[in-house]
Amino acid sequence: MPEIDDQDYIIIERKRGGFGPFIWGAAIGAGLALLFAPRSGRQVRSEIRDGVQRLRNQAEEAVRDAQRSVTDRYDDVRSDVRGRMEAARDAFEAGRQAAREARRGAAERLDPTTPPLDRVSDEELDTGM
- Which residues fall within 8 angstroms of residue 44, CB to CB, at 6 or more apart? 34, 35, 37
Which of 15, 47, 11, 18 shows the shortest CA–CA distance to 30?
47
pLDDT digits over 70-123, tens only? 999 999 999 999 999 999 999 999 999 999 888 888 877 777 666 555 545 566
Rg (CA), the chain: 39
Q: Quote the pTM value.
A: 0.43
100/126 Cα distance (integer angstroms)? 8
Exposed (0-12), middle (13-18) or buried (19+): which is 34, by Cβ within 10 Å? middle
